[in-house]
Amino acid sequence: MKLLTKIAIGVLLGIGIPISLVGMTEALNPKNTAGDREGAVAALIILGLPPTAFGSWLLFSNVRRSKQEERDRLQATFFRLLQEHSGHLTVLRFSMETGLEGQAAKAYLDTCAKEFNASYNVTEEGSFSYYFNLEAPKELGGSQTE
């Protein structure tokens, strides 16, 4: 489906943009007669703008969908790694699992650390890791009765 969408985007924009450019050029050319300019505007409106608009819409929808899929993939990997490692996670491990570059992985984990109130662990050797508490918060102010 993604391949067909990309082909459709290429075909629509490949047809629509040149027709739109020629139509605009001819419509704005003062050397053309009024009839020629009207014909160029009609060609622009009928043949140029619809495929260009639809191709652009497909392109932006495809980009939006790809970004959402990437966000979902990163989040699924993040939660899986937290489960596998009891809430402990390093930038290197996250980077290796997701394929993100180190700075991008660190930025993602920093954002998650703020969102989920993580703590940071630094070992004596200087290695840095994030700790996300996977336990449910305990009830404040007393015991729970059943």
Number of domains in the chain: 2
Considering the domain architecture, whether residues 47 and 10 belong to the same structural domain is answered as: yes
| Separation between Cα atoms, residue 35 and residue 25, nearest integer Å | 14
Considering the domain architecture, whether residues 12 and 59 belong to the same structural domain is answered as: yes
Q: Structural domain of residue 31, as residue ranges?
A: 1-69
Enter the tokens of residue 85.
Answer: 């490692």
Considering the domain architecture, whether residues 6 and 53 belong to the same structural domain is answered as: yes
Domain-embedded: residue 47: yes
In this predicted structure, what is the pLDDT of residue 146? 44
Considering the domain architecture, whether residues 65 and 89 belong to the same structural domain is answered as: no
**φ and ψ at residue 144, rounded to 5 degrees:** -95, 135
Considering the domain architecture, whether residues 1 and 58 belong to the same structural domain is answered as: yes
Q: What is the pTM of this model?
A: 0.71
Domain-embedded: residue 139: no
Residue 143 has pLDDT above 80, yes or no: no
Contacts (Cβ under 8 Å, ≥6 apart) of 105: 91, 94, 95, 98
Neighbours of 102 (CB within 10 A): 11
Query: Average pLDDT in the 123-135 region?
Result: 88
